[in-house]
Copies of this chain bind each other. A is one copy, B any other.
Amino acid sequence: MQNVVQSCGLWVERQRYQPWRLRPLKLQPLSPVPSDIAISRAQSPKPIGQLAEEIGVLPEECELYGRSKAKVRLSLLQRLQDQPDGKYIIVAGITPTPLGEGKSTVTIGLVQAFSAHLKLNSFACLRQPSQGPTFGVKGGAAGGGYAQVIPMEEFNLHLTGDIHAITAANNLLAAAVDARILHEASQSDKALYNRLVPRVNGVRCFSPIQLDRLQRLGIRHTDPAALSPEEVKSFVRLDLDPEKVTWQRVLDTNDRFLRRITVGQAATEKGHARQAQFDIAVASEIMAILALADDLTDMRRRLGCMVVGSSRSGQPVTANDLGVTGALAVLMKDAIKPTLMQTLEGTPVFVHAGPFANIAHGNSSVLADKLALKLVGEDGYVVTEAGFGADIGLEKFFNIKCRSSGLRPNAVVLVATVRALKMHGGGPSVSAGASLPKEYTEENLPLVESGCSNLKKQIQIAQMFGVPVVVALNVFKTDTQAELDLVCSIAKDSGGGAVPCEHWSVGGRGSVDLANEVKDAAAQKNSFSFLYDLQMPLVEKIRVIAQRVYGADDITLSPEAQAKVDDYIRQGYDTLPICMAKTHLSLSHMPEKKGVPTGFILPITDVRASIGAGFIYPLVGTMSTMPGLPTRPCFYDIDLDPITEEITGLF
């Protein structure tokens, strides 16, 4: 009896929150800083199971994927449900320029500083990069210099298969759409019904997902024999209009020849050819759902609500109507678990989801953030990253992601570089391969000062939501002290903290000042609020974002956009939040307008909906959803040593 009590006690003890026993990896930065892959390879990561143990993940909550990656089970959320969350920090940036700002390196440098140098628990939550650009132009996305996730090749390739699972689920749905159109076109109601509800071992019955559809149709029978011919007809015919199919296929490959295609040209498809396209896999609505889902139940529900097109009578047709929801959930059952990796200094990182930042919301997953907030504990810090500039990624983080998750941020880190600010101040354009104009390599205070207009505007955007802001000034070796001082002083005048940081060249040690400033900011009282109420009319929500965030005078809607808005109102989708699909290269819709454009009217050319993800996305111009390969893709330099298994050429 006493043994039972004792072992129960031990079990209860094990279930409690465990203080971290993190053993950081030592870093010995070299100068000049070597290539990213050389730095990554020079550091031996801890076995990932050891890191999981150090941060209080129980062995049964951890699924190893090789030596350097592990998925963490969602059951951890339940085990630690009474544990107070840590502080929630969001990293955003000024309006991006071709010179780059380094949001990912700041994110990673910051947690390296917190955990390895200040001995405060912290977690970075990053997006999984698309594999397509890795072989195209972009190279890797695991941070850079001495602020990286390691091993960088594992981060950039396949990871734990989440994007592959999304591709499989997305394309199963696409295949189901076209096959259904074909089968409906070539069969009578009766034949369709006999096939959809077949006699199995003499018994005929609806599957659960078919019963759901009957319910949506208002048909109360559960015996297949009881349906009237009209009811059979409405049950078996989705009557999808081939011209109004909105669901597209995806691949995680930069394949420009798939941007516009004709499918169904084989004789077996009996003349049902139609125009279609492939998008890059991370543009799939399923990726946006993965990033916003709260648990398996919520993910399954969202997958079922995805709209694939309209019927000829204008009704939305969903994955539920196609009967494929369960299969999609099955394909995504492991993808919902965030992947644990580590920084160069052996501190923990979650990599999970990476939705597009224009047609989707561009933020990593709610679940990774929630798991991390429990794991770091009350005094810890979770640093998560928003895509693009604050006008896009941060606005969506607040209005879409936080609204969906219920989480409230404690501080915003806004990343800027002297070089990028100079471009906003009117510096010359740059081109790949050419050497940088001297404006960027020599001191030029007027350009910096003028470019700080963009920084000030982005600080204001963050402040509009009532959250304290710290500017992280990502230092390059060509920056002068006077330039750095100028930016910091302007940022402080705008009410933000401001700290130069040097994680790229020395690792977390170079971001200790930033971490301290963030710590102070996160301790401040905070009056977070959303920018708009969901009950506001759709067009009003768009206008609020355009005027208050982008600085537009007003918006205009094309007739097509207005018609879509009317459709969505009629279909009851008008209480969803807004996800603007606008260029990230300017606060306005005109990519060439740097700094803070004014006096413009934002033209909404079209409006679309991701009903499963749960947002309406107005298009401001055309968004490319399939990148291409350049004449000399990076794959020319990528290779594998068959003996040592070392990879070269990723960067």
Chain A residues packing against B (C-beta within 8 Å): 63-67, 71, 131, 135, 153, 157-158, 161, 164-165, 167-168, 171-172, 174-176, 178-179, 182-183, 187, 192, 195-200, 207-210, 249, 251-266, 268-269, 272, 275, 277, 295-297, 299-300, 323-327, 329-331, 333-334, 433, 628-633, 635-640, 642-643, 645, 647-650
Point out the residue from B176, B251, B295, B636 that lies within 8 Å of A171, measured CB to CB.
B251
Within the complex, the shortest CB–CB distance from A46 to chain B, in Å, comes to 15
The answer to whether B71 and A63 have CB atoms under 8 Å apart is: no
CB neighbours of A636 from chain B (8 A) = 196, 207, 209-210, 323
Please report the C-alpha to C-alpha distance between residue A158 and residue B158 in the assembled complex, in whole angstroms: 12
Point out the residue from B164, B327, B433 that lies within 8 Å of A199, measured CB to CB.
B433
Find the residue from A66, A153, A196, A199 having the highest chain B CB count within 10 A: A66
Give 20 new A-B contacts, CB below 8 A, not counting A175-B253, A256-B269: A65-B65, A66-B71, A158-B331, A158-B334, A168-B252, A175-B254, A175-B255, A176-B633, A178-B257, A179-B630, A259-B266, A260-B269, A261-B262, A262-B262, A297-B642, A299-B642, A300-B642, A323-B635, A326-B640, A333-B645
Within the complex, the shortest CB–CB distance from A50 to chain B, in Å, comes to 13
Please report the C-alpha to C-alpha distance between residue A158 and residue B163 in the assembled complex, in whole angstroms: 12
A-B CB proximity, top 3 nearest: A326-B639, A327-B635, A164-B164
Please report the C-alpha to C-alpha distance between residue A114 and residue B70 in the assembled complex, in whole angstroms: 35
The answer to whether A66 and B64 have CB atoms under 8 Å apart is: yes
Point out the residue from B179, B196, B260, B628 that lies within 8 Å of A628, measured CB to CB.
B179
CB neighbours of A176 from chain B (8 A) = 629, 633, 635
The answer to whether B268 and A175 have CB atoms under 8 Å apart is: no
Q: Known contacts being A266-B260, A327-B638, is A183 close to B631, with CB within 8 Å?
A: yes
The answer to whether A257 and B261 have CB atoms under 8 Å apart is: no
Q: Find the B residue at minimum CB distance from A179.
A: B629
Q: Find the B residue at minimum CB distance from A640.
A: B329
Please report the C-alpha to C-alpha distance between residue A174 and residue B249 in the assembled complex, in whole angstroms: 16
Please report the C-alpha to C-alpha distance between residue A66 and residue B632 in the assembled complex, in whole angstroms: 38
The answer to whether A262 and B265 have CB atoms under 8 Å apart is: yes
Q: Known contacts being A64-B64, A263-B261, is A645 close to B199, with CB within 8 Å?
A: no
The answer to whether B261 and A261 have CB atoms under 8 Å apart is: yes
CB neighbours of A210 from chain B (8 A) = 636
Within the complex, the shortest CB–CB distance from A603 to chain B, in Å, comes to 21
The answer to whether A268 and B259 have CB atoms under 8 Å apart is: yes
Within the complex, the shortest CB–CB distance from A596 to chain B, in Å, comes to 32
Q: Known contacts being A263-B261, A635-B324, A643-B297, is A175 close to B629, with CB within 8 Å?
A: yes
Q: Find the B residue at minimum CB distance from A159.
A: B161
Q: Known contacts being A64-B64, A265-B261, A433-B200, is A333 close to B174, with CB within 8 Å?
A: no
CB neighbours of A256 from chain B (8 A) = 175, 178-179, 182, 266, 268-269
Please report the C-alpha to C-alpha distance between residue A92 and residue B127 in the assembled complex, in whole angstroms: 47
CB neighbours of A255 from chain B (8 A) = 171, 174-175, 178, 249
